[in-house]
Amino acid sequence: MADEYKIPQHVAIILDGNGRWAKKRHLPRGFGHKAGANTLEQTLEDAWDLGIKYLTVYVFSTENWKRSVEEVKGIMNLLRDYLKKSIERSNKNNMRVRIIGDRTKLDPDIIQSINDLEEATKNNTGLQFNMALNYGGRDEITRAVKGIATDVKEGRLSVDDISEELISSRLDTAELPDPDLLIRTSGEIRLSNYLPWQLAYSEFYFCDILWPDFNKEELKKAIDYYNGRDRRYGGV
Ligand code: FPP
């Protein structure tokens, strides 16, 4: 009997290729990011439609600050636009939004908007959408280790309390299951500091398509790929 077709519960995506998409059209990079933001909105609907419960996307990394001031400003303004519309749209779709990453380094108006968005959508039971903003896996683990070390130093924890579960519970993704599937677009085959702890047992799917061109068919291909895999967690 054929195995049942499985929909991954949690999909993580590295959205890559916005700049190249714009370049191919002789447009400034910002047009690629705008197109990428539109693709992301459509992907939220497609993911839910296909039965995915958690979607976690890499929007801005701790390394992305190294881009030109103009490009960073453009991405932050796109984020502002997204956040402005997001409470109403998320509530209409019963979608819960969480932010992972170190939000303290973002502009105060953006911090306020993401706090408001998380609060306003916290009881929604539809798609659990997580946006990584100023996120870096090593930075996340470093922050968690500092918190644990402080608790040990001040007597709230003992060294023997430190376990994989405890560490997971101190990460930004504490409330989320680990991703089942990672997708990276645009042909790059690397992790770029994205969820290194959480992706330890996930399937990885890399495709050549540039992020603004990603669509439901591509998402289905990634899920097909996921179904061709036998996940043994190190067993036999
Ligand atoms: C990767 O393409 C994209 C980013 C680093 C920025 C991601 C931003 C968006 C998808 C738009 C913002 C969305 C919201 C909701 C604010 P790249 O620039 O690295 O492309 P390249 O590798 O071709 O240069």
Ligand 1 touching residue 100 (CB < 6 A): no
Q: Ligand 1 centre and the CA of 236: distance in Å?
A: 39
Ligand 1 centroid–CA 54 distance in Å is 20
Tell me the average pLDDT of the chain: 96
Instruction: Please work out, in degrees rounded to the nearest 5, the angle formed at the alpha carbon of residue 169 by the alpha carbons of 197 and 97.
Output: 85
Band the pLDDT of 231: cuts 50, 70, 90.
Answer: low
Report the predicted TM-score, pTM, of the whole model to 2 decimal places.
0.95
Q: What is the pLDDT of residue 187?
A: 98
Q: Assign 43 to helix, strand or coil.
A: helix
* CB contact burial 176-200 (16+ within 10 A = b; e otherwise): bebbbbbbbbbeeeeeebbbebbbe
Nearest CA to ligand 1 atom 16: 79
Instruction: Let me know: does 80 contact 110? Beta carbons within 8 Å.
Output: yes
Average pLDDT over residues 17-39: 98
CA of 148 to the centre of ligand 1 (A): 33
Residue 201 Cα to ligand 1 middle (Å)? 26
Question: Of 83, 62, 87, 96, which is closest to residue 175 (Cα–Cα)?
Answer: 96
In this predicted structure, the answer to whether residue 100 has a pLDDT above a threshold of 60 is yes
Ligand 1: atom nearest CA of 20 is: 23
Task: Name the nearest CA neighbour of 90 among 109, 61, 59, 116.
Answer: 116
For the segment 132-150, the average pLDDT, to the nearest whole number, is 98
DSSP-assigned letter for residue 157:
S
Task: Tell me what pLDDT residue 3 has.
Answer: 72
The pLDDT of residue 236 is above 80: no
Pocket residue to mutate for ligand 1, from 14, 15, 70, most atoms within 8 A of Cβ: 15
pLDDT at 232 over 90: no
Residue 127 has a pLDDT of 98
Q: Is 99 in the pocket of ligand 1 (CB under 6 A)?
A: no
